[in-house]
Structure 1
Amino acid sequence: MSVQARQNQGVQSIGFGIITVSDTRTQETDKSGQFLIEAVKAAEHQIESYQLIKDEQSVIKKTIENLMVQPKVEAIIINGGTGIAKRDVTYEAVEALLEKELPGFGELFRYLSFTEDIGTGAMLSRAIAGVVNGKALFSLPGSTGAVRLGLTRLILPEIRHIVHELNK
């Protein structure tokens, strides 16, 4: 199946939940979260929820769990907290919830980050994606460049196909 055929498969508009994980950002300074909202809307999808939360594992897990039971949310994108600093615990929170991991997402994200964005610094990324409660979950680093790369090169080109597969 061609890329175009996969992109056109399934529902036309996806309901997204956006979560920014940060101890320092506010809604006014959350450039990555705002980029996600604008780009998802520009791709003719819906923003069902946007939340800015602290980088605490229990808070991240609870926020994801709350979004996963909302019927209009079909996909969640998290940005932030994926590095290797002590405070970066998004990966651990997401990994613990995944029913099925999509290892290719993290692999491709790091490859694209290496070749198109930050070079060898890509090895520090712990981007991860998978399925929770029959819904797609993507976790990206918090930089706007990383969010742009992950959304435009990986998530948006495949989201309709992913949601179609999850709803079969």
Structure 2
Amino acid sequence: MVKMFNDDFMRLNISVLTVSDSRTEENDTSGDFLVDSIKSSGHNSVEKKIVVDNIYKIRESLSTWIADDRTQVIIVTGGTGFTERDSTPEAAEPLFDKKIDGFGELFRQLSYETIGTSTIQSRATAGLANDTLIFCVPGSTNACRQAWEQIICQQLDSRHKPCNFAMRLKKVTQ
């Protein structure tokens, strides 16, 4: 059963995965920003985890949350660039049942206003796997803020019109 925040708002269960070879719980400002934003928006923060930038470690965490009966949304921060170690899209996209092409397109359009043509190196992506929504965003706190405030928060709000993802997600047990 999904808990209600008010008459129309549906509380969603959201997990955050930080992909990094250098972040720790003490300096994970992006993951902390996302958890704080999730809570302040009225959603439930289910779990936060940090994994090294390794396709199989990322897939393991994603697969666990996709299969569990609590997590409805996963936000991955980090590993979306073009360095040799960046592997989040390669880890996540094979798990998608449906890719949400518009997310990456809109994220890069919005990013152009702040980082110019460097936005072409962003491989932000999103998709749906087992009725679990997955957003993969760059690791900087500013990029997480932009993705959350300008796209994700609205699309997770059951009151957002004309459409949102809240009703499309798996039903959860509390």
> TM over 0.5, yes or no?
yes
Structure 1 ranges of 4+ moved more than 3 A: 8-11
SS at match of 1:87: coil
One-letter amino acid matched to 1:69? A
- 1-side partners of 2:7 and 2:109: how far apart? 26
Q: Is the 8 A contact 2:55 2:90 kept in 1?
A: yes
- 2-side partners of 1:30 and 1:108: how far apart? 25
One-letter amino acid matched to 2:165? I
- 1-side partners of 2:147 and 2:132: how far apart? 18
- Indicate the residue corresponding to 1:94 in structure 2: 92
Higher relative contact order (CA 8 A, sep 6+): 1
Q: 1:36 aligns with which of 11, 17, 34?
A: 34
- Indicate the residue corresponding to 1:135 in structure 2: 132
- 1-side partners of 2:11 and 2:26: how far apart? 27
Q: 2:47 aligns with which of 46, 49, 52?
A: 49
Deviations 1:94-141 (A, max 9, x none): 1111110000000000000002x2111111000000101111000000
- 1-side partners of 2:46 and 2:29: how far apart? 18
One-letter amino acid matched to 1:123? I
Q: CA RMSD in A?
A: 1.7
SS at match of 2:165: helix
- Indicate the residue corresponding to 1:163 in structure 2: 166
Deviates more, 1:157-166 or 1:127-136: 157-166
SS at match of 2:65: helix
Return the offset for 1:11: 5.4
Q: Closer, same or farther in 2 for the Cα pair 1:9/1:122, shift >3 Å?
A: farther
Unaligned runs of 5+ in 2: 1-5, 159-163
Q: Going by fraction, where is helix more abundant, 1 or 2?
A: 1
SS at match of 1:129: strand
Aligned length: 160
Q: Does 1:82 align with 2:80?
A: yes
Return the offset for 1:163: 2.5
Percent of pairs identical after alignment?
Answer: 37
- 2-side partners of 1:119 and 1:146: how far apart? 13
